[in-house]
Amino acid sequence: MTESNREIPGIFEGLLATARRDLLLAWKRPGDVLNPLFFFAMVCTLFPLAVGPSQEQLEFSGPGVLWVAALLATLLSLNALFLSDFEDGSLDQLLVSPQPLPVLVLGKVLAHWLTAGLPLVFVSPILALTYNMPVTVMGVMMLTLTLGTISLSLLGSIGAALTVGLHRGTALLSLLILPLAMPIMILGANAVSLAAHNDVYTTGIWALGAYAIASVSVAPYATAAALRISNE
Amino acid sequence: MWKWFHQLASPPHFYRISAILSPWLAVPGLVLIAYATWQGLFVVPMDYQQGDAFRIIYVHVPAAYLSLMAYMIMASAGAIGLIWRIKLSHAVAAAAAPIGAAFTFLALATGSIWGRPMWGTWWEWGDPRMMSELILLFLYFGYMALRSAIDDTAKADKASAVLALVGIVNVVIVHFSVEWWSSLHQGQTVFKRGTMDADMRLPLLMMIIGFTLLFGSMLLRRIRTEVLYRERRTRWVREMVLSPEGAA
C-alpha cells in the first residue's frame, strides 16, 4: 500500500507537471502563441480602417475595440486547448491518471492563460497607444484584461472540452462561448471607458475579480465533466 | 406517489399518459387565449398614454415569461438526466429547447414592434431586458447547435446538459452585468408605469395561464415525438406501430 502510494505524485505536482508540459509544447511551437497575438493586433487595425481615422472617435471607442479584439483572440487560441492531446491520445492519459481531473484541467488552463492570456495583456498597451489612450487608463485596462482573460480561459475550457473531437468544432466553440463571455467583456470594457472619463471604475474591477475567483473554483469541475462526456 | 413517478419515467408509460394529457392542456389553453385575445383587443379600454400600442403586452409578457421558464425546464431536466440518468429527462430537455427559442424570439419581436412607436426605434441597445433576452436567444442557439453537432444521442444529451447548467449560472450574471452596464447609459425613455388596472390585468393573467397550458401541450407533443424517435429500435414501439391501431 505504502509502496504504490509513493509512486503517485501529489495533487500539486500533477498540476505543475501538466502546466509545465503544455508550456514546453508552446515553447516548441511558438506559432501557436504568436498567431493569436498577430490576430489581436490586426483586429485592432481593422477598426480605424472601417470607421475612419478620426482621433476623437478612436479615443472614444478604443477600450471597446481592444476588449473585443482580446475576446476574439482568446477564442481563436481556445480551440487548440485539448485538440492536440485528443489527437495524439494524451488526453486519455489525463482521464485515466490517478490525479483528480479538475486539478489537471486547472494545470492545462494555467498554461493556456500564460501563453494566450498574459501575452495579450502585455501587448495591449502598445495597441492602446495607437488609440491615444492615457497611461493611467492603460493600467486599468491591463488589470481588467488580466482578470478577464483568466475567466475567459476557464470559461473557454468548458466549451473546448464540450467540442473536442467534433468536426465542426471551431465555429461551434465560438457559438457556445460568446454569449457566456459577454458579461466579462461588458464589465471589462466599461471599466476602462469609465476610467477614461475619470469616472469611478472600481465596480467593474471588483465584479471581474469575483468572476475570476468563481470561475477558478467552478469551471475546472465543469470542464472535467465535459471531457469525460466527450471521451466516452 | 413515488411509484407513479417512476412509472412516468418509463418511455412507454409516458407515451400513453401524455397522449391523454396533451389535449386536456391544449383545449383549455386555446379557449383561454381566444377569450383573452378578444378581451385584450376589443373590450379593454385604450391606455391613456400608450393608446392601442400597449395591447401587444398580451402576447409579449407571456412569451417573455415562457422563454425563461423553458430554459429552466431545459436546464433542470438536463441536470436530472445527468444525476439520476433518467433517459426521458434528456428527451424533455431536447424537446424544450426549440420551443424556448421560439418564445424568446416572439418576446424579442413583439418588444421590438412595441418599441417602434413608443421609443421611436426598433431596437434599443441600452435596454437591459432586451439585451438579456437577446443573449438568452444566443444561448438557445448554442445549445441546439451543440446538440445537433454530436451524432451520438447519449453523448449529445450529457454534453448539452452541462452547457445548459453553465448557461443558467451565466443568465444571472448576464442579467446583473447588463443592468450595471445600462445604468451607465442613462437618458433613454423609461416608462414608469403605475400599477395596472384590474380590467387590463385580468386578460393578461388569463393569457399567461393560457400560454403556459399551450406550452405544456406543445412540450408533451414534442417529447412524444422525441421518445418515439429515441426508442425506435425497441419492442414496444415496433409493436405499437405494427398494431392495427397504429401509433396513436
Query: What local confidence, expressed as pLDDT, does residue A117 receive?
Result: 93
Give the mean model confidence (pLDDT) for residues B122-141. Answer: 84
pLDDT tier for residue B54 given thresholds of 50, 70 and 90: confident
Query: What local confidence, expressed as pLDDT, does residue B188 receive?
Result: 41
Chain B residue numbers with beta carbons less than 8 Å from the beta carbon of A203 are 180
Query: What local confidence, expressed as pLDDT, does residue A4 receive?
Result: 54
Interface test with A, best of B83, B139, B143, B146 (most A CBs within 10 A): B146
Residue A214 in grid coordinates: 468563481
- Looking at the partner chain, which of B162, B167, B173 has a beta carbon nearest the beta carbon of A226? B162
Domain limits, chain B:
17-185+210-242
- Looking at the partner chain, which of B138, B150, B159 has a beta carbon nearest the beta carbon of A179? B138
Q: What is the ipTM of this complex?
A: 0.86
Rounded to whole angstroms, what are the CA distances from B133 to A71, B48, B103, B181? 21, 28, 10, 15
The answer for residues whose C-beta is within 8 angstroms of residue B87's C-beta and 6 or more apart is B9, B11, B81, B230
Collapsing DSSP to helix, strand or coil, B237 comes out as: helix
B47 beta partners: B51
Q: Is the pLDDT of residue B118 over 90?
A: no
Q: Report yes or no: B83 at the A interface, CB cutoff 8 Å.
A: no
Cβ of A211 within 8 Å of Cβ of B173? The answer is yes
- Looking at the partner chain, which of A166, A172, A229 has a beta carbon nearest the beta carbon of B162? A229
- Decide: B36 and B223 in contact? Cβ < 8 Å: no
**Average pLDDT taken over every residue of chain B:** 85
Give, as one character, the DSSP assignment of residue B122.
Answer: S
Q: Report yes or no: B78 at the A interface, CB cutoff 8 Å.
A: no
- HSE-CB at A206 with a 13 A cutoff on CA atoms is 5
Residue A9 in grid coordinates: 505524485
Chain A residue numbers with beta carbons less than 8 Å from the beta carbon of B159 are 162, 226, 229-230
CA-based nearest residue to B71, from B148, B224, B175: B175
Collapsing DSSP to helix, strand or coil, B49 comes out as: coil
| Residue A206 neighbours by CB distance under 10 Å | 13
Please tell me which residue of chain A has the smallest CA distance to B144: A176
Place of cell 423553458: B70
Q: How confident is the model over A31-64, as pLDDT tens digits?
A: 888 999 999 999 999 988 888 888 888 888 888 8
| Residue B193 neighbours by CB distance under 10 Å | 11
Q: Is the pLDDT of residue B82 over 60?
A: yes
Collapsing DSSP to helix, strand or coil, B69 comes out as: helix
Query: What local confidence, expressed as pLDDT, does residue B116 receive?
Result: 82
B135/chain A closest Cα distance in angstroms: 6
Query: What local confidence, expressed as pLDDT, does residue A136 receive?
Result: 87
The 3 state secondary structure assigned to chain A is: CHHHHHHCCCHHHHHHHHHHHHHHHHHHCHHHHHHHHHHHHHHHHHHHHHHCCCHHHHHHHHHHHHHHHHHHHHHHHHCHHHHHHHHHCHHHHHHHCCCCHHHHHHHHHHHHHHHHHHHHHHHHHHHHHHCCCCHHHHHHHHHHHHHHHHHHHHHHHHHHHHHCCCCCHHHHHHHHHHHHHHHHHHHHHHHHHHHHCCCCCHHHHHHHHHHHHHHHHHHHHHHHHHHHHHCC
- Decide: B118 and B191 in contact? Cβ < 8 Å: yes
Q: How confident is the model over A73-114, as pLDDT tens digits?
A: 999 889 889 988 898 888 999 899 888 999 999 999 999 999
Q: How confident is the model over B158-205, as pLDDT tens digits?
A: 999 999 999 988 778 877 777 777 766 544 444 445 556 667 788 889
- Please give the Cα distance from A142 to A140 (Å, whole number): 5
pLDDT tier for residue A217 given thresholds of 50, 70 and 90: very high
Chain A residue numbers with beta carbons less than 8 Å from the beta carbon of B154 are 232
Collapsing DSSP to helix, strand or coil, B167 comes out as: helix
Query: What local confidence, expressed as pLDDT, does residue A150 receive?
Result: 96
Torsion angle (degrees, nearest 10) of CA B196, B197, B203, B208: 20
- Decide: A151 and A184 in contact? Cβ < 8 Å: yes
Specify the higher pLDDT residue, A149 or B113: A149
Query: What local confidence, expressed as pLDDT, does residue B189 receive?
Result: 42
Query: What local confidence, expressed as pLDDT, does residue B247 receive?
Result: 57
pLDDT tier for residue B95 given thresholds of 50, 70 and 90: very high
Query: What local confidence, expressed as pLDDT, does residue A6 receive?
Result: 61
- The number of residues making up chain B comes to 248
B161/chain A closest Cα distance in angstroms: 10
- Looking at the partner chain, which of B135, B138, B166 has a beta carbon nearest the beta carbon of A158? B166
Q: Is the pLDDT of residue A5 over 60?
A: no
Give the mean model confidence (pLDDT) for residues A151-176. Answer: 89
Q: How confident is the model over B208-230, as pLDDT tens digits?
A: 999 999 999 999 999 999 999 99
Chain B residue numbers with beta carbons less than 8 Å from the beta carbon of A183 are 170, 173-174, 176-178
Q: For chain A, how many structural domains are there in total?
A: 1
* Cα distance from N-terminal residue to C-terminal residue, chain A: 30
Q: Report yes or no: B87 at the A interface, CB cutoff 8 Å.
A: no
Specify the higher pLDDT residue, B240 or A141: A141
Residue B18 in grid coordinates: 401524455
Q: Is the pLDDT of residue B126 over 80?
A: no
Specify the higher pLDDT residue, B196 or B124: B124
Q: Assign residue A200 a region: left if phi > 0, alpha if psi is -120 to 50, beta otherwise? A: beta
**Average pLDDT taken over every residue of chain A:** 89
- Decide: A224 and A102 in contact? Cβ < 8 Å: yes
Chain A residue numbers with beta carbons less than 8 Å from the beta carbon of B180 are 186-187, 190, 203-204, 207
Chain B residue numbers with beta carbons less than 8 Å from the beta carbon of A211 are 173
pLDDT tier for residue A223 given thresholds of 50, 70 and 90: very high
Cβ of A179 within 8 Å of Cβ of B166? The answer is no
Question: Which of A69-83, A164-178, B93-107 is predicted with the least confidence, judged by mean pLDDT?
Answer: A164-178
- Please give the Cα distance from A34 to A43 (Å, whole number): 14
- Looking at the partner chain, which of B158, B163, B176 has a beta carbon nearest the beta carbon of A176? B163
Residue B243 in grid coordinates: 398494431
Give the mean model confidence (pLDDT) for residues A192-207. Answer: 88
- Looking at the partner chain, which of A162, A182, A232 has a beta carbon nearest the beta carbon of B174? A182
Q: Is the pLDDT of residue A220 over 80?
A: yes
Rounded to whole angstroms, what are the CA distances from A228 to A39, A49, A180? 32, 45, 22
Domain that holds residue A144: 2-230
Give the mean model confidence (pLDDT) for residues A148-173. Answer: 89
B168/chain A closest Cα distance in angstroms: 10
Highest mean pLDDT among A119-123, B41-45, B233-237: A119-123
Give the mean model confidence (pLDDT) for residues B25-32. Answer: 93
Quote the crossing angle between the two packed helices A55-78 and A135-163, to the nearest 10°: 30
Cβ of A182 within 8 Å of Cβ of B135? The answer is yes
Cβ of B145 within 8 Å of Cβ of A180? The answer is no
